[in-house]
Each structure stands twice: as C-alpha cells, then as structure tokens.
Amino acid sequence: MRIHIATDHAGLEFSEDLQNHLAAAGHEVIDHGPTSYEPLDDYPSFCINAAQAVVEDQAQDIAALGVVFGGSGNGEQIAANKVRGVRAALVWNVSTAELARQHNDANVIAIGARQHSVDEAKLFIDTFIATAFTGEERHARRIAQLAEYEITGSIAGHQID
C-alpha cells in the first residue's frame, strides 16, 4: 500500500521513525515534508499535499492512505480535511484507529506526536492500515451524505441550517 506522510516540526523525528517502520512492512512511503527541522514551520501545506495525494491515488485505484502528525494532531487533521474527498480522523488509541476505518472509511489519520510514544503510533497506524471499512449501509449512507454536502452544500432530504 502507498502511505502518504506529512508532519510539522513537532512530529518530524516521529515521522522518520514511522516511515522506516512502514517501509520495513513493505509499504511505499511518500514523505510530503518537511524535510528539515524548522521550529516555526507551517504544517497546512504539508498535510494538504499528503491528503491531496491520497485522493488522487484513490481516484486512480491505487491503494493509498495518509498519516499526518503534529504536536496534538488536531491542526493536521483540520488541514487534511480541507481536501475534497478526505475523511481524516484524529486517532488516540487502537479503538479510534479501527473505528475510523470500519465506520467512517477514513483515508487519513492524524496523530499527536507529543501525545504518544513512537510504539503507540506504530500500533495505531498498523491497526488503521489493517482494518477494512465494514461497508454497512448506515455507514455508507452517512459517508455519501458528507460527500454530497462537500460538493453541493446540502444533503438531500435533510435540513441544513
């Protein structure tokens, strides 16, 4: 599987360890930056580039997921979710990694590098990659509603104030 990774300065060292872990597991890892430590860097472009690459790969039927890191993971998740077609979830334990895939068919996860050890992050990422979307109708329906809103600004049959 192709894994797109992005971070900010807070997650740079974390990202390098995780890229090695993923490559050793046989994944193709694409690093969207940064490539060097800059304490005042701006993460949005890195995360948006990674998220956009996931969407582009998936549109070409290339198996791809994304992982973005920062101090808390919150800003990185928000940045990734600005890309049409991305469903980025903040992951903080194994259960949230599983549910992100099973119920939300998330294609990007965000992890706080200052919140977790590298070993915890490896477990979350491995779980995320190994878990499949259930395809249950209720989950598929909700994902379709989110995609509809993303494109049209409304959800047919539902009031949006």
Q: Which residues are the active-site residues?
A: 76, 103
Q: Given strand 28-31, what is the order of strands in its sheet? A: 28-31, 2-6, 64-70, 108-112, 88-90
Contacts of 87 (CB under 8 A, 6+ apart): 81, 104, 105, 106, 107, 108, 143, 146
**Residues 96, 100, 101, 107: is their CA dihedral positive or negative?**
negative
